[in-house]
Amino acid sequence: MHILKGDVPTCTAGRILGHEGVGVVDKIGAGVTMFKPGDRVLISCISACGRCDYCRRGMFSHCRTGGWILGNEIDGTQAEYVRTPHADTSLYPIPDGADEEALVMLSDILPTGFECGVLNGKVQPGSTVAIVGAGPIGLAALLTAQFYAPSEIIMIDMDENRLEVAKRFGATATLNAKDGRAAENVMKMTHGRGVDTAIEAVGVPASFLTCENIVAPGGTIANVGVHGTKADLHLERLWSQNITITTRLVDTVSTPMLLKTVQSHKIDPKLLITHRFKLDKILDAYDVFGHAATTKALKVMIEA
């Protein structure tokens, strides 16, 4: 949806979109040694060579011959056949008996919410967390933040249905931001202190400003959202507050751990799936997801 709004200029017209999915290996290239035709695999949203200087630092998102290229700089996963570069280091075998729909959430949203939101946000036991945006990424951050037992997780959104979902997923409190008083209400809830971690999971200037207005001294603003326009940074207020601001494109270094967590039923990402379509109905799927406020869509699954 960010691409369709024009927020990702590296994606040119005519590109096949999509960077999430599971599938079955049809053919392999000469350099592939870890997989064979017939293998069921999870496709990572990040392609990584595993050899360049960025990959050796664990920054797979900035791989010199990969990174986020699927559905961005090369054709992506919303098709009958998908070419995945650096297959040995960018695919994961699907364990026997695994729920393939649940594993689609491991392509992007779970590692993104966890790495860019929870890890970058330094969520700790007993800390107070606010997540601005209760869409799929924000809910993924909510699910994985609970690994670290924060005392409070406040979800903020303008969609009451998504806030209800957030409650079922473990949010300790929810706030509807429609009245423009979300930051004020968070400060009341925290007795004027603010939150230790503010996770921005929308990608619009207003949501980033909300994070600036609710972060406590010594706290962290973890940006997760894809921003297509500039956002104001109020250093005149924040310069003395010992605030950390983090940005990140997901590296998917946490995918193996998250895969084990899903397999052990510690979290159930399949709960995020609300709609299913066949590939020939993909325009209907985009329409449903584009009107999530009325359709109550979270993750929309496409089956080829």
Model confidence over 47-88: pLDDT tens digits? Answer: 999 999 999 999 999 999 999 999 999 999 999 999 999 999
Map residue 28 onto helix, strand or coil.
Answer: coil
Cα gap 161→181, rounded to integer Å:
19
Q: Which two tokens stand for residue 273?
A: 């799936």
pLDDT of amino acid 2: 87
Using CA of residue 140, residue 142, residue 143, residue 146, what is the dihedral sign? positive
| Interacting residues of 65 by C-beta distance below 8 A, sequence separation 6+ | 49, 52, 85, 86
Strand runs (DSSP E) across the chain, as ranges?
21-24, 40-43, 91-93, 128-132, 152-157, 173-176, 195-200, 215-223, 244-246, 273-278, 299-303
> Largest Cα–Cα distance in the chain?
61
| Interacting residues of 12 by C-beta distance below 8 A, sequence separation 6+ | none
pLDDT of amino acid 221: 98
One DSSP character per residue, 14-40 reads: T------EEEE-----TT--S--TT-E
Using CA of residue 203, residue 280, residue 44, residue 63, what is the dihedral sign? negative
Q: Which of the residues in the chain have pLDDT under 70?
A: none
Cα gap 21→19, rounded to integer Å:
7
pLDDT of amino acid 38: 97
| Beta pairing class for 195-200 and 215-223 | parallel
Length of the chain: 304
pLDDT of amino acid 114: 98
Q: Which two tokens stand for residue 231?
A: 């956002």
pLDDT of amino acid 255: 97
The residue type of 143 is: L
Cα gap 212→235, rounded to integer Å:
10
